[in-house]
């Protein structure tokens, strides 16, 4: 008699398969959208006085004369092996965006390391003192922060801390030759802006997850036994809310990946978002496609992690009857 696979394993496998399929579909959309952009890179480089023969020769040299679907299959196969191709400037794409990608990862990682524990702590405080002043203040502040676009938050932060108080530089132009302290000093404003944006989402969702658990019967039983409210929250509610909270963290980290593009452009931070904007300006199609694919893979990956965490933290799947 063959054993049936556990529901949790089959559901995780299906989510992983859907994630891979989603990434393939997104890659097709990215390649098609870029291929349909008006204008030609060869024409833009050679100028308006270029002859049709010269434009055709450059397009053949760059492989732009082949059918788009064949170019897509070749690009997807190479990308799956880690080869993003050559930029139209004559350099490997990964040489162009590699250092920029590292800068983006550093910026997002520092923000996440600060945001995750702070948001969980503030969410616990809101749930512990539900309806009191601190809860109302934090809930109102986070709601106001969610309602404001990140680029507006960035400009407000820049105006106050860089222009008015002159505490930090308004432009986060870091270089590899700078020491770590100088780089971190120039990254303060982008980090602060990202924190203000994602903390609001994470605090509100953490509060909601803990309050949802605290409505359970076993929480009421713990209170009837005379346990202090702080112990009920930390020992009873929080462990059972870890699954929803982890899902919230993963989803907000996915949002952080997409939101960092806007922040990089505002503060002129040399990350992947800024590299993508420069590539659009220069019509460097391989770099545009690589940057878009990286952002899509990160977003889908974090959403996949959130799905898997939700599945694993479900007791009905962990202990099926």
pLDDT of residue 91: 82
Q: How many CA atoms lie within 13 A of 309 on its CB side?
A: 18
Q: Which of 221, 269, 282 is nearest to 101 (CA)?
A: 269
Q: Domain segments of the chain: what residues?
A: 19-80, 100-318
Instruction: Judge contact between 1 and 311, C-beta under 8 A.
Output: no
Exposed/middle/buried for 217, CB within 10 Å: 0-12, 13-18, 19+?
exposed
Looking at the DSSP bridge assignments, the partners of residue 92 are: 86
Residues in the chain: 321
Helix (H/G/I), strand (E/B), else coil: 295: helix
Residue 158 above 60 pLDDT? yes
Q: Encode pLDDT of 59-94 as tens digits.
A: 777 666 777 778 888 888 888 888 887 787 778 888
- Is the domain 100-318 a CATH 1.10.3720.10 member? yes
Q: Encode pLDDT of 206-256 as tens digits.
A: 888 888 877 777 777 877 777 777 777 777 777 777 777 777 787 778 777
Q: Model's pTM, two decimal places? A: 0.78
pLDDT of residue 215: 76
Question: Which residues neighbour 245 within 8 Å (Cβ) at sequence distance 6 or greater?
Answer: 120, 123, 205, 206, 209, 210
Helix (H/G/I), strand (E/B), else coil: 92: strand
Question: Which residues neighbour 138 within 8 Å (Cβ) at sequence distance 6 or greater?
Answer: 122, 125, 126, 203
pLDDT of residue 42: 67
């Amino acid at each position: 008699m063959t054993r049936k696979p556990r529901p949790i394993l089959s559901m995780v496998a299906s989510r992983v398969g859907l994630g891979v399929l989603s990434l393939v579909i997104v890659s097709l959309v990215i390649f098609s959208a870029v291929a349909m952009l008006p204008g030609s890179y060869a024409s833009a480089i050679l100028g308006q006085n270029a002859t049709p023969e010269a434009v055709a020769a450059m397009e053949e040299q760059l492989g732009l004369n082949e059918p788009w679907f064949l170019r897509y299959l070749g690009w997807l196969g190479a990308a799956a092996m880690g080869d993003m191709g050559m930029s139209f400037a004559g350099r490997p794409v990964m040489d162009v965006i590699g250092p920029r990608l590292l800068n983006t990862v550093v910026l997002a990682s520092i923000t996440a390391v600060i945001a995750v524990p702070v948001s969980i702590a503030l969410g616990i405080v809101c749930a512990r003192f539900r309806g009191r002043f601190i809860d109302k203040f934090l809930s109102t502040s986070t709601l106001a922060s969610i309602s404001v676009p990140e680029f507006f938050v960035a400009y407000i932060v820049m105006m106050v801390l860089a222009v008015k108080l002159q505490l930090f530089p308004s432009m986060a132009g870091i270089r590899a030759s700078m020491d770590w302290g100088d780089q971190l000093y120039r990254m303060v404003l982008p980090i602060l802006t990202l924190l203000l944006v994602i903390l609001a989402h994470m605090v509100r969702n953490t509060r909601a997850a803990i309050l949802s658990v605290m409505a359970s019967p076993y929480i009421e039983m713990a209170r009837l036994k005379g346990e202090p409210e702080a112990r009920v929250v930390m020992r009873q509610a929080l462990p059972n809310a870890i699954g929803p909270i982890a899902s919230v963290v993963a989803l907000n980290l996915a949002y952080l990946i997409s939101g960092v593009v806007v922040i990089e452009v505002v503060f002129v931070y040399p990350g992947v978002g800024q590299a993508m904007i420069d590539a659009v300006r220069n019509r460097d199609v391989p770099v545009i496609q690589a940057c878009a694919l990286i952002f899509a893979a990160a977003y889908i990956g974090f959403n996949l992690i959130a799905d898997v965490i939700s599945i694993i933290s479900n007791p009905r799947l962990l202990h099926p009857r």
